[in-house]
Amino acid sequence: MTDIKLLLVEDNLTDQMSFTRFVKREQLPYHYMIASSVAEANEILLQHDFDIALLDHELGDGTGFDILEKIHKVIPAIFVTGNGAEEIAVQAIKKGAYDYLSKDMDAHYLTLLPVTIDSAINAKNTEKELLNYQQNLESMVAERTEKLNQEINQRKQVQQQLREEKERIQVTLHSIGDGVITTDTDGKVQYLNPVAEELTGWSLTEAEGQPLDTVFNIINEATRIQCENPVFRCIRENKIIGLANHTLLINKQGTDLAIEDSAAPIRDKQGKLIGVVLVFHDVTQARRMAQELNYQATHDPLTELNNRREFERRLHNSMSNAYERSVEHAMLYIDLDQFKIINDTCGHVAGDELLRQVSALLSAPLRDGDTLARLGGDEFGILLENCHLEKATDIAQSICKLIKDYLFSWEKHAFHIGASIGIVPITKDTIVLAEIMSAADMACYTAKENGRNCVHTVDASDTQVLARKNDLIWLTQLRAAIEKDRFILYAQTINHVNSPTKVAHVEILLRLQNGETIICPDDFIPAAERYNLMPDIDRWVIKATFQHYHQHQKNTTLPWKCAINLCGDSMCDKTLIEFIQQQQAIYQIPPEQICFEVTETAAIANLNKASHFMRQLKKLGYQFALDDFGSGMSSFAYLKNLPIDYLKIDGVFVKDIADDPIDYAMVKSINEIGHAMGLKTIAEFVENQAILEKLTDIGVDYIQGYHISYPEALSA
């Protein structure tokens, strides 16, 4: 067996070694060279000839496509891609690769290498042979015809030569892997090679003299309308004609075969057309594979709906259509309500089944031509083409009702869910796809905030959507602030009532630095809470506070106890206690000097988790204050379940205590109950001397407010 000269382009040493070991183990007749980069491969190709090339996709200085572009017409190439890279494989086949192999962790793909290489080389040789035949056939026939005219007296000898030549041609045609049919200028079949007989289902004896359309019946794959036969175009235009894309051959048995290739004229020595040769081959398997890959690339595997990528492609086309034709479309962005409850209660298998059933529900009110897609998680998108906003709203309302009335049953459980829907009109003025998706998402979120299972439509003056968009801007800034330490710590003192100038401890406050501007938390905390960034911000504050304590406490003689605010989500974070312990160890923080403040509403909303969280940290020596007491449920019964040390009275009652007897009574009552439970009380919003005097009369322990001190930045 002749050695096969092979070039392997692969930058992964492990894959190179796997290939080398495989070739040696299997004793394959490969004379190979290995290149680790595009540049090295180009240099080798200039100096050596090869029968086949194996190309990896990702290379250090480029991709396998850079090499494929240069060699695909000369050397057959096989792409070797990572497992799951179907899109790259399809692109490689389109650009001229003969085949592709998918890598796997155990290099099993190498077992397919010999047959794949043989197939590619044989295909290339067949292609060359067919090309040579197509190039030579015309000149050979012309030459023989010319000799017939010139050597009329040697007719018998020439006829014998032609018979011999015909036999040689037939042997060649019998040996190639493509189907070959020749016809006369009337389109009557003259010859079929064995491959053409197999593909068409007609024998040469049956087909000879038959009209070509009878033997070679082709239709369009999509429309199933009969295609014009390329042989008749070749006769009419006297040139090579390629088959139209997506062509199917209906053989004698009625079976569909996907085919490709061309028809070429046969001319005599004077250039006169004397017939046509039709060459074709079966690409059914390759086309089916391409269709499957395309389906996988455009559809969601769980629901079999269009995926986000395909939805955005169609949305982009609709935008262009709206601009060019001044028509109106609409997009619906749908988010299921209570989906997480089902996942948490019954598991993800139940959640997946719900998504499949909801997909069928969402299809019901749609019109022909509308596009339904799963955008991710429990979010769906619907593109309503040629649909005015009023009609789109009706469809959205009907979807809401369908979802609301639907009862999902799983084992012994039954659930009602809902759907929040955002609607965005698509008009000639809609030009940016990302803005449509963003506006739809914001409209959906607004619908959810407005009570769930309802519809919200975007318009230019939509203040709720504008506020949501402003939150998205804050989201970007806050993430950058966490990553790049753009927050600043401030502190406000909490003093003794009986010694207003004596510092008891300080409350740590947070500011955001944006260039030269210092931004107060009221501006960015709502967005942080909306997008669940508060736990990350709390961790930043804890670490920064501990670090500051470590750096500066040794330089002061004052006891420096500080209060750090925590959000409700942080108390539900099982890993936060471990994080606090880690930071405590790093910065050598005495726990008794740290008091964590949690709001009354956050503690009550997560009472069991908050209580557990507090007790765990109390065991380590940390203290707790219940902030804004009186602003929420104001139930003293909750205090029995929370291991707190300080009770901070909401400033809403404190700021008017000097003028409002009801506020005075509220503060007095909270203070007395707090003392009865052994808690220290802290009053916020102490803005003037009159308030301070009232608090002194009541017997509050600590005071905090602008009358005592303003927040100040902690020194670096």
550 in any annotated domain? yes
Residues 212 and 317 in one domain: no
Distance between CA atoms of residues 121 and 125, nearest Å: 6
Number of structural domains the chain divides into: 4
The predicted structure's pLDDT at residue 380: 94
Evaluate if residue 376 carries a pLDDT over 50.
yes
Which pTM value belongs to this model?
Answer: 0.44
The predicted structure's pLDDT at residue 634: 47
For 170-179, 325-334, 386-395, 671-680, which range has the lowest pLDDT when averaged over its residues? 170-179
Q: Give one DSSP letter per residue of 396-412, joined into a string.
A: HHHHHHHHHH-EEEETT
The predicted structure's pLDDT at residue 633: 45
Residues 309 and 293 in one domain: no
Q: What is the CATH number of the domain that holds 352?
A: 3.30.70.270
- Using DSSP, how many helices (H) and how many strands (E) does the chain show? 27, 31
Query: Of all helices (H) and strands (E), which one includes residue 268?
Result: none
Evaluate if residue 464 carries a pLDDT over 50.
no
Distance between CA atoms of residues 42 and 102, nearest Å: 24
Residues 293 and 309 in one domain: no
Residues 697 and 591 in one domain: yes
Query: Which residues does 130 contact at the CB level (< 8 Å), separation at least 6?
Result: 176, 178, 279
25 in any annotated domain? yes
* Mean pLDDT in residue range 329-346: 85
Residues 293 and 312 in one domain: no
Q: What is the CATH number of the domain that holds 247?
A: 3.30.450.20
Instruction: Encode 111-144 in three state secondary structure.
Output: HHHHHHHHHHHHHHHHHHHHHHHHHHHHHHHHHH
Residues 290 and 310 in one domain: no
Residues 656 and 516 in one domain: yes
Q: What is the dihedral of CA 103, 106, 111, 117, to 10 degrees?
A: 30
* Mean pLDDT in residue range 163-178: 66
134 in any annotated domain? no
- Domain, as residue range, for 620: 477-713
Report which of residues 601 and 148 the model is more confident about: 601
Q: What is the CATH number of the domain that holds 78?
A: 3.40.50.2300
157 in any annotated domain? no
Residues 251 and 220 in one domain: yes
Residues 286 and 350 in one domain: no
Q: At what angle do helices 284-298 and 308-325 cross, to 10 degrees?
A: 80
* Residue where a domain stops, chosen among 252, 268, 298: 298
* Residue where a domain stops, chosen among 298, 328, 354: 298
Distance between CA atoms of residues 372 and 314, nearest Å: 11
The predicted structure's pLDDT at residue 557: 54
588 in any annotated domain? yes
The predicted structure's pLDDT at residue 384: 92
Q: What is the CATH number of the domain that holds 548?
A: 3.20.20.450
Residues 560 and 495 in one domain: yes
For 49-53, 586-590, 634-638, which range has the lowest pLDDT when averaged over its residues? 634-638
Residues 382 and 528 in one domain: no
Strands 99-102 and 77-81: parallel
371 in any annotated domain? yes
> What confidence tens digit (pLDDT) does each residue in 400-412 have?
989 888 888 888 7
SS3 387: coil
* Mean pLDDT in residue range 350-357: 89
The predicted structure's pLDDT at residue 210: 92
The predicted structure's pLDDT at residue 382: 93
467 in any annotated domain? no
* Residue where a domain stops, chosen among 298, 317, 344: 298
* Residue 405, both tokens: 């009335």
Q: Are 614 and 643 in contact (CB under 8 A)?
A: yes
Residues 266 and 294 in one domain: yes
405 in any annotated domain? yes
